[in-house]
Amino acid sequence: MKNHPICDCLGALDAHIEHHLASLVDLYKDLHAHPELSEEEIRTADVMAREMEHAGCDVSRGVGGYGVVGVLRNGVGPVVMIRADMDALPIEEETGLSYASRKKVRSRDGREVGVMHACGHDLHCTILAGTARFLSSVTGTWRGTILFIAQPSEERASGAIRMIEEGLYTRFGRPDCGLALHVSPDLPVGQVGYREGVFSAGAESLDITVRGIGGHAAHPDRARDPIVLAALLILQFQTIITREVPAGEFGLITVGAIHGGVKHNAIPDEVHLQVNIRYFEPSVRDLILASIRRICEYTARSHGIPEDRLPVITFQPESVPPLENDPSLTSKVIPVLAECLGKERLCRMAPLTGSEDFGFFGSVDPPIPLCYLRLGTGVENGIYLHSSRFCVCPEDGIRNGVALMSLAALSLLQSP
């Protein structure tokens, strides 16, 4: 028997979801078939704005780019923010679904690329819409204000902070807390992952221009080869993790791209590296970045590179801090979910090495407590996020996601 008062609404919640399931599946398939890249979410924002309007929200568009804010007021009480991200990825879809994306666009460097919802943001948006529909239909069971946030540009880590900078909290009210979820193909269908404290890693992306002195392949002694230097740097970066980051601390360095040279018999002047780092503690971030700078500078000097040709490091505007769940807030949400959904569906997770810009919503002064959850979508096919073959069962995802976010929100809103 379920004793928590919020569990009394489970019957109404299940009935509501089943009544709306077909239209929500149609919404999901529409979003999936029409993905939009970061900072280009024009159509998606329009769809989400209309969904919020139909749910009775006061809707504002164009907040931090194409961000949408729906405000649902229902008397005096807590202000709860619920956020979903909208953007897709430059990946050509290979799922074979009847509603698969066939969209192609020109990338910033002029290449034609496919566009795909390979990270579940289409399901996040559908769950947000379904949660808005349900909570607006049961206003007799709660009091307070809900801010429904459809956020742009999560994949470029610019959407959350831009919404805040453009007045999210000053225009619509500072929330008492914030909720978000993310699909998790490494958890069984319907499982809910949570943890207190650091949940996902911080990240930095940087470009390194490794400069040398170009020349003929027949006379490498008359050149200073940046390709050899770049290879040395890539290998030495890994010793930062194995020999400098303290044992027991987490850090990663990945060189995701290397570009240099145009001809078999020509030594180029430059090689370009694209580097990503991950960390849980800011001190580890600082150590890794300082070590990258040191290795670049002194390895280049030992390679005979002149002072005016030392490597150049440029940070990309895609940094995110570690995402931290507020322990007190999490301790309010999780017992309600355990009571209403069943303890067997709750799973305390280890910190994730992936990154997420939801943390920016809480990184203000004073901080806003956040609770971020993972929604299991199944582990059968072994395919993870950002794969061209990633897909979910929309019916299961919608049922479980709308129930999860609705119950989480009700656990933080005031009873009438």
What are 242-261's pLDDT values in tens digits?
Answer: 999 999 999 999 999 999 99
Residues 173 and 297 in one domain: no
CA distances (Å), origin 183, targets 10, 24, 60, 188, 258: 22, 17, 26, 11, 31
Does 415 fall in a domain?
Answer: no
Residues 61 and 18 in one domain: yes
Does 416 fall in a domain?
Answer: no
- In this prediction, residues 345-367 reach a mean pLDDT of 96
What are 314-326's pLDDT values in tens digits?
Answer: 999 889 999 999 9
What are 398-407's pLDDT values in tens digits?
Answer: 999 999 999 9
**Residue 344's pLDDT is what?**
97
- In this prediction, residues 339-358 reach a mean pLDDT of 96
Q: What φ, ψ does residue 204 adopt, rounded to 5°? A: -135, 140
Residues 276 and 332 in one domain: no
The domain boundary residue, chosen from 265, 290, 315: 315
Bridge partner residues of 131 (DSSP): none
Quote the pTM value: 0.94
CA distances (Å), origin 220, targets 91, 196, 267, 276: 39, 56, 8, 31
Is 251 in contact with 353 (CB distance < 8 Å)? no
Residues classed as catalytic: 85, 155
Does 70 fall in a domain?
Answer: yes
**Mean pLDDT score of the chain:** 96
Residues 386 and 401 in one domain: yes
Is 90 in contact with 119 (CB distance < 8 Å)? no
**Confidence band, pLDDT 50/70/90 cuts, at residue 106:** confident
Range of the domain at 215: 202-315
**Residue 17's pLDDT is what?**
98
Cα of 147 vs its chain's centroid, Å: 19
Please tell me what DSSP assigns to residue 354.
S
Look at residue 135 and tell me whether its pLDDT is greater than 80.
yes
| Both tokens assigned to 197 | 């404290």
**Residue 1's pLDDT is what?**
52
| Both tokens assigned to 15 | 């009935």
Residues 215 and 364 in one domain: no
The domain boundary residue, chosen from 315, 332, 363: 315
Residues 308 and 329 in one domain: no
Check the CA dihedral 153-158-160-165 and report its sign.
negative
**Confidence band, pLDDT 50/70/90 cuts, at residue 296:** very high
**Residue 380's pLDDT is what?**
65
CATH number for 334: 3.40.630.10
The domain boundary residue, chosen from 315, 342, 375: 315
What are 158-211's pLDDT values in tens digits?
Answer: 999 999 999 999 999 999 999 999 999 999 999 999 999 999 999 999 999 999
Measured from the Cβ of residue 138, the count of other Cβ atoms closer than 10 Å reads 15
Residues 146 and 41 in one domain: yes
Does 264 fall in a domain?
Answer: yes
CA angle, 147 as apex, 144 and 395 as ends, to 5°?
A: 105
Is 148 in contact with 132 (CB distance < 8 Å)? yes
Q: By percentage, how much of the chain surpasses pLDDT 90?
A: 94
Does 220 fall in a domain?
Answer: yes
- In this prediction, residues 47-66 reach a mean pLDDT of 98
Residues 256 and 356 in one domain: no
**Residue 4's pLDDT is what?**
80
Residues 145 and 105 in one domain: yes
| Both tokens assigned to 177 | 């807390």
Tell me how many domains the chain contains.
2
Residues 125 and 255 in one domain: no
Half-sphere exposure of 223 (CA within 13 A, CB side): 21
Burial of 389 (0-12, 13-18, 19+ CB in 10 A): middle
Check the CA dihedral 45-47-53-56 and report its sign.
negative
Residues 191 and 301 in one domain: no
**Confidence band, pLDDT 50/70/90 cuts, at residue 21:** very high
CATH number for 239: 3.30.70.360
Residues 303 and 365 in one domain: no
